[in-house]
């Protein structure tokens, strides 16, 4: 509540002691409005801030701002935008522009949202959150490169914001792909898809003065994306760089070896080529959509090289590993929490032997296209 003056805070202390007294001043209504807002008494807060505005009290821009945010919490985004616009007309505060930009983005008005976030950054170039919010809107517009630049600027100014904006960006990406789950090329049929999990172990390289170099936490052909950013994949077997820089296998002995428990997730999809061209590449996403909207979904992206002749079918397989978490965890898919999710598979891209390709709109920023052969 840093926007209110010390005088108003002191008045709150004075008036809070007089619960039974009838309020008479705009300052008293302002402070009660703040208290009600903080306690999520939204109707009461709206009534109090409206009273301050009617009484022509001071700091009206903040009364409009908080009344607008109360309307938003009540599920009235249009009225919230109206109030934030009135607050901005009184004072060009970067927080007002940032929050109105967010509300506009939620309403699908991405161009207006970008304009507000640009203004917030223009007024306060060190306002980290505005860069993060603009990055999310740019991601919604399919401007992935510009979005990443905004995220980099945001995290450089305030590294504490990284986890929340990475999680939000993952959700934006997932929603973008989810819109095209039923979109597929006419020359391919999905017969079935499935996944399994199994406990496994990976070797941990012994201590050494050499520098351990680990493989990426993905499968040889697939990459985990859009999932919980805190759920890290496990690295592959370690390698040691010798003095010449060449990679050599880690020395192992029965005494030195150690292992780590992991869960191996194996994904499979059976497809039939119903077209006239040979399929040589297949990009696909396996989705775990939560039945509870409040829960975060998961999605895994794979790119598989293959060779499927016209009229033939083939089962494609890929896998990832993850540290075995505590029992009951819902961060990663598991047979014990499978009932919490709906599973879907999306086709994002097909590459053909003649050099042409088919791409889903979800994979090319909103523009479906078929690339002709060169």
User: In this predicted structure, what is the pLDDT of residue 337?
Assistant: 79
Residue 305, helix vs strand vs coil: strand
Strand order in the sheet with 239-241: 212-213, 239-241, 247-249
- Look at residue 39 and tell me whether its pLDDT is greater than 60: yes
- Look at residue 284 and tell me whether its pLDDT is greater than 70: yes
User: In this predicted structure, what is the pLDDT of residue 80?
Assistant: 95
Which of the residue ranges 13-22, 89-98, 121-130, 265-274 would you say has the lowest mean pLDDT? 13-22
State the number of CA atoms in the 13 A half-sphere of 346 facing the CB: 23
b (16+ CB within 10 A) / e for 36-73:
bbeeebbebbbbbbebbbeeebbbbbbbbbbbbbbbbe
- Look at residue 369 and tell me whether its pLDDT is greater than 50: no
CATH number, span 6-177: 1.25.40.10
Where in the chain are the domains? 6-177, 188-371
Count of beta carbons in the 10 Å neighbourhood of residue 324: 19
Instruction: Kindly report, residue by residue over 304-318, the tens digit of the pLDDT.
Output: 899 999 999 999 988
- C-beta contacts of 115-120 below 8 A and 24+ residues apart: 119/92, 119/94, 120/94, 120/95
User: In this predicted structure, what is the pLDDT of residue 178?
Assistant: 64
- The span from the CA of 131 to the CA of 147, in Å, is 9
User: In this predicted structure, what is the pLDDT of residue 246?
Assistant: 34
DSSP secondary structure letter of residue 233: B
CB 165 within 8 A of CB 132: yes
Structure tokens at 288: 């775990």
Q: For residues 23-38, give the mean pLDDT.
A: 90
Label residue 374 by pLDDT band (50, 70, 90). very low
Which residues, 6+ apart, have CB-to-CB distance to 334 below 8 Å? 197, 263
- Look at residue 253 and tell me whether its pLDDT is greater than 50: no
More confident residue, 251 or 177: 177
Q: Which helix (H) or strand (E) holds 188?
A: strand 188-204
- Look at residue 215 and tell me whether its pLDDT is greater than 70: no
More confident residue, 334 or 125: 125
User: In this predicted structure, what is the pLDDT of residue 52?
Assistant: 93
Label residue 200 by pLDDT band (50, 70, 90). low
- Look at residue 88 and tell me whether its pLDDT is greater than 80: yes
User: In this predicted structure, what is the pLDDT of residue 259?
Assistant: 63
Label residue 363 by pLDDT band (50, 70, 90). low
Label residue 79 by pLDDT band (50, 70, 90). very high
Label residue 294 by pLDDT band (50, 70, 90). low
């Amino acid at each position: 509540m840093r926007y209110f003056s010390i005088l108003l805070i002191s008045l709150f202390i004075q008036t809070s002691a007089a619960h039974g007294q009838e309020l008479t001043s705009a300052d008293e209504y302002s402070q009660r409005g703040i208290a009600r807002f903080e306690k999520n008494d939204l109707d009461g807060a709206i009534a109090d801030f409206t009273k301050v505005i009617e009484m022509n009290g001071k700091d009206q821009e903040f009364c409009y701002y908080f009344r607008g945010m109360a309307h938003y919490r009540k599920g009235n985004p249009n009225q919230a935008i109206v109030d934030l616009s009135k607050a901005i007309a009184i004072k060009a505060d970067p927080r007002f522009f940032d929050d109105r930009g967010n509300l506009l983005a939620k309403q699908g008005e991405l161009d207006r949202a970008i304009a507000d976030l640009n203004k917030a950054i223009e007024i306060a170039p060190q306002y980290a959150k505005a860069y993060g919010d603009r990055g999310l809107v740019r991601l919604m517009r399919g401007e992935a490169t510009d979005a990443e630049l905004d995220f980099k600027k945001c995290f450089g100014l305030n590294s504490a914001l990284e986890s929340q904006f990475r999680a939000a960006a993952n959700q934006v990406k997932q929603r973008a792909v989810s819109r095209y789950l039923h979109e597929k090329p006419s020359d391919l049929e999905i017969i079935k898809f499935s996944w399994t999990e199994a406990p496994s172990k990976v070797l941990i390289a012994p201590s050494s003065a050499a520098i351990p170099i680990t493989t990426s936490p993905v499968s040889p052909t697939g990459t985990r994306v859009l999932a919980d950013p805190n759920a890290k994949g496990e690295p592959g077997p370690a390698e040691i760089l010798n003095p010449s820089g060449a990679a050599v296998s880690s020395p192992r002995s029965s005494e030195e070896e150690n292992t780590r428990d992991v869960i191996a997730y194996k994904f499979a999809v059976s497809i039939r080529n119903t077209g006239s061209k040979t399929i040589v590449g297949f990009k696909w996403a396996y989705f775990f959509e939560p039945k509870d909207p409040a829960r975060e979904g998961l999605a895994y992206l794979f790119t598989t090289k293959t060779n499927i002749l016209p009229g033939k079918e083939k089962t494609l397989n890929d896998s990832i590993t993850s540290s075995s978490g505590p029992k009951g965890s819902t961060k990663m898919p598991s047979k014990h929490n499978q009932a919490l999710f709906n599973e879907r598979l999306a086709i994002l891209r097909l590459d053909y032997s003649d050099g042409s390709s088919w791409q889903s709109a979800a994979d090319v920023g909103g523009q479906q296209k078929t690339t002709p052969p060169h």
